[in-house]
Amino acid sequence: MTISMYQASFYPLSRMLKNVIEILEKGQAHAEAKNIDPTVLLNSRLYPDMFPLVRQIQIVSDVSRRAIARLAGVEAPAIEDTETTFPELIDRLKKTIIYLETFTAEQIDGAEEKDITIPIGREETMTMKGWPFLVHFALPNFYFHVTTAYDILRHNGVEVGKRDFLGKP
């Protein structure tokens, strides 16, 4: 069996975005149940030099949109980072899923050898082929920020576990 670039990109990204939505919903419910100001959770971070939960979720959205767009050879639309509540973050992720769903397999498949150039820093770029871009950069970056968001909520007492991270089969 072979796996296409579309299958290797769209399905893991969209599935995990749905899982993150459910994790954020649990975070919101936890704040309500424990009478915690939601901004405490939203502004929490694992370490002082790391981004807070809000920024982690914004990056999850950005990485997934940009990865698919780059593989398709188009520019992802910019989204301003204005979210300050759980519902706003959830809405952003839902819009990200809708955006990913606009792409077809025909747009993504065949991108394995396509040159993908990405910014790294303010004035530098890095170019790599589509397959290495997806498996060595985009997906690991995406999962890093998903995991960090999960860890922030878990660290703050939100009852989420591995099954929440992995989602329903």
Closest among 133, 156, 146 to 22, alpha carbons compared: 146
CB-neighbour burial class of residue 103 (10 A; exposed 0-12, middle 13-18, buried 19+): middle
The structure tokens listed for 158 are: 């939100």
Beta-ladder partners of 116: 128
Q: Is the pLDDT of residue 4 over 90?
A: yes
- Which whole number is the average pLDDT over 142-163? 97
pTM: 0.95
Do 32 and 86 touch, CB atoms closer than 8 A? no
Mean pLDDT of the chain: 96
- How far apart CA 7 and CA 33 sit, in angstroms, is 39
Fold held by 10-164:
Four Helix Bundle (Hemerythrin (Met), subunit A) (1.20.120)
pLDDT value at residue 6: 97
Percent of the chain with pLDDT over 70: 99
- Amino acid identity at 64: S
Residue boundaries of the structural domains of the chain? 10-164
The structure tokens listed for 134 are: 């997806």
Instruction: Express each pLDDT in 34-61 by its tens digit.
Output: 999 999 999 999 999 999 999 999 999 9
CB-based contacts of 124: which residues, under 8 Å, 6+ apart?
A: none
- Which whole number is the average pLDDT over 81-101? 98
